[in-house]
Amino acid sequence: MSTSQSPRSGTRARIIAVALELFSEQGYEKTSLREIADRLGVTKAALYYHFKTKDDIVHGIVATMAAPIDETIAWGEQQTWSPAVRDELVRRFAAGMTERIPLLRFFHENQPALRESPAGLEFKARMAAMARLVHGPGASFDDRLRATMALFSVNSAFFLLKNDTEDASGCQPHGGGSDHAATLDDAVAGALTVALENAARIEPRQGV
């Protein structure tokens, strides 16, 4: 059985990749379907065959790039909550987001436009489902907050990495401070360390 990608699915993947580039470079609202088609080297009609609107493209981006979150949620829903399951959820989430850094940047840089969009609401729902699995049933407000902080510390680490990369490319002088510019490995390790530290403070519950 062939595992090669069909021409249609290959074109959809290219559209998603190029749209993500443009949305990240100049913003969702400032990017037109014409610009996406031009960068792809196709007609606008050819683009319409796969995606009718920019919202459709964003939905495709989320569905494609949020796959690791969906897989982690599906795994977590089959488990009985325990500190070990909690930590494994955090590890799986961090690993999945490491492979999906462009998605995090895209959402961060286009928050106003995406906050109430269908795709934005779907991503928000995924994060809420992840947090519920991390803190487990019967959690206190503090534990729900710790679970949310654990997950967002992963997102924040990659946001800081982006800032470090931009500072380095701008050749800023080193005299202004002693901050250490992070590498991707630093960001991954730091994200997981801080996420697990937050998660570890979630109190195990009796009878769960």
Domain containing 133: what range?
A: 66-200
Q: Are residues 42 and 70 in the same domain?
A: no
Is residue 63 classed as helix, strand or coil in its secondary structure? helix
Q: Does the pLDDT value for residue 201 go beyond 50?
A: yes
**What pLDDT, on the 0 to 100 scale, is given for residue 179?**
55
Across the range 100-119, mean pLDDT stands at 76
**What pLDDT, on the 0 to 100 scale, is given for residue 141?**
95
> How many whole angstroms separate alpha carbon 158 and alpha carbon 110?
16
Q: Which residues contact 164 (CB under 8 A, 6 or more apart)?
A: 181, 182
Across the range 147-164, mean pLDDT stands at 81
pTM of the model: 0.76
**How many structural domains comprise the chain?**
2
**What pLDDT, on the 0 to 100 scale, is given for residue 85?**
96
Across the range 35-49, mean pLDDT stands at 92
CATH number at residue 26: 1.10.10.60
Q: Are residues 89 and 191 in the same domain?
A: yes
Q: How confident is the model at residue 148 (pLDDT cuts 50, 70, 90)?
A: very high
| Percentage helix, strand, coil for the chain under 3-state DSSP, each rounded to 5 | 75, 0, 25
